[in-house]
Amino acid sequence: MLFGGIYELWPDPLVVGAMGVKELDHALSQPGVEVVLYWPAWNWTLRTIPALLEAKWRAIRLRKRLIFMVNSIPQQRLLRRFGLTAHLASLNCFVDENVFRIESSPKRFDALYIAQMLPVKRMFLARDIPSIYVVTYGECRDQAGGYDLHRFEPTLAHANFNRGWLGAAQIARLINECRVNLALSAEEGAMLAVVEGLLCGVPLVSTPCRGGRELFFDSRFVEIADPTPQAVAAAVSRLSRADVPRELIRRETLRRLQAHRTAVGNVVAGAVGDLRGSPVMEGDVSARFFGGKGTAAHFIGF
């Protein structure tokens, strides 16, 4: 469920998960869909409430059930204040641990930052890290059509980066080649790259944030740094020397992921039971969607 999409969570009655405004509209417009679980790509705030209320009333008019899924406790409290059903289940639960796993690759870089070329990503905060790889994408391109990180962020002229789009397996390999993962935005959504790195057994340096990634923080392998280049570089240096067992990082992250996957399974099972009149087990939902070939196998193209 990366960067938007519609996924089949249960086939009969058809329950889907949607991420993205256009995807939500499309899911609600499909005649066979009876229940939509909607995840935020970004942090929902008071500014978002009117659009969410409008979506809720549209679902009612279409005689469909719309359930809001949130990435953080503040989001859940906000939506419930306005009478909206909101369940805490981080979008990070969709990350595939079979792709993002520990590999025995030699370390080539001090840090990795997976970040679109946008100001909100605050790439300049990584400028004092001597050796860094940035997995990026966006509209800033060179004459050959490749991504141009150095033109977008001149303070990272020393950084290595990808010129074209990378697949999940390629990103996982790069994560394993770095000592520390980075999360430098002040506000975001679930920030899937955080959990991708933790599943690879790589510790994390984050700045203070809102939006949901903090649900996966653990002081044993996550350090919160002040939003200055000096503080970020110092935190990277400390974590690089800490020698935290990679298996510990992955195990604890999987434990947290399972709690969110169970929450999704419970919501889907409850909705299916209400509509069908007979119960569905949470474990059946979770095993079907999160097991086997992974969540990508349930993508719906309509």
In the predicted structure, residue 279 carries a pLDDT above the cut 90? no
Query: Which residues fall within 8 angstroms of residue 200, CB to CB, at 6 or more apart?
Result: 100, 101, 102, 103, 172, 175, 176, 246, 250
> Can you give the pLDDT at residue 1?
40
Sheet with 14-19, side-by-side order of all strands: 5-10, 14-19, 33-39, 65-70, 86-88
> Can you give the pLDDT at residue 294?
63
In the predicted structure, residue 187 carries a pLDDT above the cut 70? yes
> Can you give the pLDDT at residue 277?
84
> Can you give the pLDDT at residue 298?
64
Tell me the pLDDT band of 41, cut-offs 50, 70 and 90. confident
Tell me the CA end-to-end span of the chain in Å, nearest whole number.
15
Tell me the pLDDT band of 301, cut-offs 50, 70 and 90. low
What topology is assigned to 5-95+255-294 in CATH?
Answer: Transcription Regulator spoIIAA (3.30.750)
What proportion of the chain, given as a percentage, has pLDDT over 70?
95
Query: What CATH superfamily classification does 109-252 receive?
Result: Glycogen Phosphorylase B; (3.40.50.2000)
Mean pLDDT of 2-29: 88
> Can you give the pLDDT at residue 20?
83
Mean pLDDT of 203-207: 98
Q: What value does the mean pLDDT of the chain take?
A: 94
Q: What is the domain partition of the chain in residue ranges?
A: 5-95+255-294, 109-252
Residue 138 class from Cβ within 10 Å (0-12 exposed, 13-18 middle, 19+ buried)?
middle
Mean pLDDT of 262-286: 92
Show the tokens assigned to 216. 């996966």
C-alpha–C-alpha distance, residues 14 and 269, integer Å: 12
How many distinct helices (H) and strands (E) make up the chain? 9, 11
In the predicted structure, residue 253 carries a pLDDT above the cut 80? yes
